């Protein structure tokens, strides 16, 4: 049983502690991946703050890439040494949701023996089926996708969450069609990928809304045709002026309640609001239901961009290899595992797209 280093959350709203943990061998259908890179997602920070509860001690991290270092019985589609993207999307491939192409909401999340323990035998939660703030992980084979060897791991790891969530939110959940108009609320890591998704899908105009002028400049570099400051009075009026009409698709990529409450104002007749950002548990929003009822508007929840990872990650990796998808530009900083608390604090400043932890492999 290998002993690895991992960043462990022992108390909410406290710094993570670097500990030596034991990692069990992969069971049937599982793989062990020695990680090369893991990105820090805002969801990891929210979990560590206690926003959605959960048991402790726990290892977070769910946006990773590395190489397979061991396989369990029955694993035939992957081999040792393959570079893979590691996701939190664990699919049984048997429930009705998996069978109809929605593995992100798989209903059969059967528990398995804990992969992580402290040397004294105390179980450590592998959060989100991943626990990638660690040198190695053991995950179900449904959570990984093979990717090319010649692409950098710090860019590839972003395909595990932020990229598929943003692009998939537009294309899979929002069903954006060429020529439609889009508003993306929030120009952070996920928002920039929603903008890329809209551009790739052939949107006519793409309006980015954010509280920061600097982020709006970045949004334009990723494909936004217009930018609107959310601090302005009635920002939806400026967005509608840019579009000439209400938006066909409005993507809310932040977990802020005001963003959700204002999103419907940006939509036109028959518009779709794609709900991507995750507010804290218990947070409530208000809206006037007669408006979407009368205007035939839709509110669509989107978890992980409704991605089917074996389908979506390879084509996105190929677009990146062609220079048609920006990934390198999403990496704001590169850090070591020992610097993870500094990287998390830097991420919390709001100006970061993605900070990435690189492992010495």
Q: pLDDT tens-digit profile of 120-138? A: 999 999 999 999 999 999 9
Q: Are 195 and 326 in contact (CB under 8 A)?
A: no
In the Cβ-directed half-sphere of 259, how many Cα atoms lie within 13 Å?
A: 26
pLDDT tens, position by position, 71-130: 999 999 999 999 999 999 999 999 999 999 999 999 998 888 889 999 999 999 999 999
pLDDT of residue 2: 87
pLDDT grade for 351, boundaries at 50, 70 and 90: confident
Q: Are 247 and 267 in contact (CB under 8 A)?
A: yes
The secondary element (H helix, E strand) that includes residue 22 is strand 17-23
Put residue 261 in one of left, alpha, beta given phi > 0 → left and psi -120 to 50 → alpha.
alpha
pLDDT of residue 132: 96
What is the spatial distance between Cα 24 and Cα 121, in angstroms, rounded to a whole number?
12
pLDDT grade for 348, boundaries at 50, 70 and 90: confident
Tokens 């406290």 -> residue: 14
SS3 category, 124: strand
pLDDT of residue 1: 76
Claim: this prediction has a pTM higher than 0.85: yes
Q: Measured in Å, how far apart are the chain's first and last C-alpha atoms?
A: 18
* Mean local confidence (pLDDT), 154-161: 95
Q: What is the mean pLDDT of the chain?
A: 94
pLDDT of residue 317: 96
The answer, yes or no, to whether residue 361 has pLDDT greater than 70, is no
* Mean local confidence (pLDDT), 64-75: 97
pLDDT of residue 210: 94
pLDDT tens, position by position, 218-272: 999 999 999 999 998 899 999 998 999 999 999 999 999 999 999 999 999 999 9
* Mean local confidence (pLDDT), 178-197: 96
Range of lowest pLDDT (201-205, 232-236, 357-361): 357-361
pLDDT grade for 335, boundaries at 50, 70 and 90: very high
* Mean local confidence (pLDDT), 37-49: 91
pLDDT of residue 352: 81
CATH ID of 3-160+326-358, from 3.30.420.40, 3.90.180.10, 3.40.50.1220, 3.40.640.10: 3.90.180.10
Q: Which CATH superfamily is domain 166-302 in?
A: NAD(P)-binding Rossmann-like Domain (3.40.50.720)
- Listed by start position, the domains of the chain span 3-160+326-358, 166-302
What is the spatial distance between Cα 100 and Cα 90, in angstroms, rounded to a whole number?
15
pLDDT of residue 127: 92
The set of long-range contacts for 232-240, using a CB threshold of 8 Å and a minimum separation of 24, is 235/209, 235/262, 236/262, 236/265, 236/266, 239/183, 239/207, 239/209, 239/266, 240/266
| Phi and psi, residue 360, nearest 5° | -85, 90
Percent of the chain at pLDDT above 90?
A: 84
What is the spatial distance between Cα 168 and Cα 162, in angstroms, rounded to a whole number?
10
């Amino acid at each position: 049983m290998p002993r690895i280093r991992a960043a462990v959350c022992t108390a909410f709203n406290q710094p993570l502690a670097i500990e030596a943990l034991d990692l069990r061998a992969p069971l049937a259908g599982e793989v062990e991946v020695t990680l090369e890179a893991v990105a820090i997602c805002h969801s990891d920070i929210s979990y560590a703050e206690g926003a959605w509860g959960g048991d402790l001690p726990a290892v977070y991290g769910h946006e990773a890439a590395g190489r397979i270092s061991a396989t369990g019985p029955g694993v035939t589609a992957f081999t040792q040494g393959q570079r893979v993207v590691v996701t939190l999307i664990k699919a049984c491939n048997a429930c009705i949701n998996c069978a109809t192409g929605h593995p992100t909401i798989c209903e059969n999340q059967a528990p398995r023996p804990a992969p992580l323990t402290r040397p004294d035998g105390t179980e450590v939660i592998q959060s989100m089926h991943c626990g990638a703030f660690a040198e190695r992980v053991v995950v179900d084979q449904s959570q990984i996708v093979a990717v090319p060897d010649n692409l950098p791991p710090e860019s590839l790891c972003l395909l595990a969450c932020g990229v598929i969530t943003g692009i998939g939110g537009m294309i899979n959940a929002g069903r954006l069609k060429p020529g439609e108009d889009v508003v993306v609320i929030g120009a952070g890591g996920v928002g920039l990928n929603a903008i890329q998704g809209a551009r790739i899908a052939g949107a006519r105009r793409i309006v980015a809304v954010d509280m920061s002028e600097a982020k709006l400049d970045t949004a334009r570099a990723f494909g936004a045709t217009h930018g609107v400051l959310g601090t302005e009075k009635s920002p939806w009026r400026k967005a509608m002026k840019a579009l000439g009409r209400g938006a066909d698709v409005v993507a809310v990529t932040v977990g802020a309640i005001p963003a959700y409450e204002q999103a419907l104002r940006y939509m036109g007749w028959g518009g779709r609001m794609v709900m991507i950002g995750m507010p804290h548990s218990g947070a409530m929003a208000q809206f006037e239901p007669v408006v979407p009822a009368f205007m035939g508007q839709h509110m669509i929840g989107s978890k992980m961009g409704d991605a089917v990872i074996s389908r979506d990650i390879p084509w996105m990796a190929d677009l990146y290899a062609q220079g048609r998808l920006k990934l390198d530009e999403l990496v704001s900083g590169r850090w070591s595992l020992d610097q993870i608390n500094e990287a998390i604090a830097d991420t919390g400043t709001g100006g970061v797209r993605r900070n990435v932890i690189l492992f010495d492999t």
